[in-house]
Amino acid sequence: MAAYLNVALEEGDLALIMATLGDIARARTMAVVAEETGLGRESLYKSLSANGNPEFATVLKVMSALGLRLQATAVPGANDAS
């Protein structure tokens, strides 16, 4: 799951990232993810689609329910963001 999501994150395409997160949630079973996040199953399907635009809090809840977390890393040569 993490490697699949990391590939999407590296692309930087929001639609791809949301679709990938949706794929992972569906593989886990969206009803389970909905229960663990306290969010509605239908709203999760909508939010985690290529056209979805979920709140960041929703993304964090879903990632937590999937056993994933976001981690920042410095981009080499990008204004010393470390």
DSSP-based three-state secondary structure for 24: helix
Q: Is the pLDDT of residue 42 over 70?
A: yes
Between CA 79 and CA 5 the distance in angstroms is 26
pLDDT band at 82 (very low <50, low <70, confident <90, very high): low
Write down the pTM of the prediction. 0.83
For the chain, the structural domain boundaries read 2-65
Structure confidence at residue 25 (pLDDT): 95
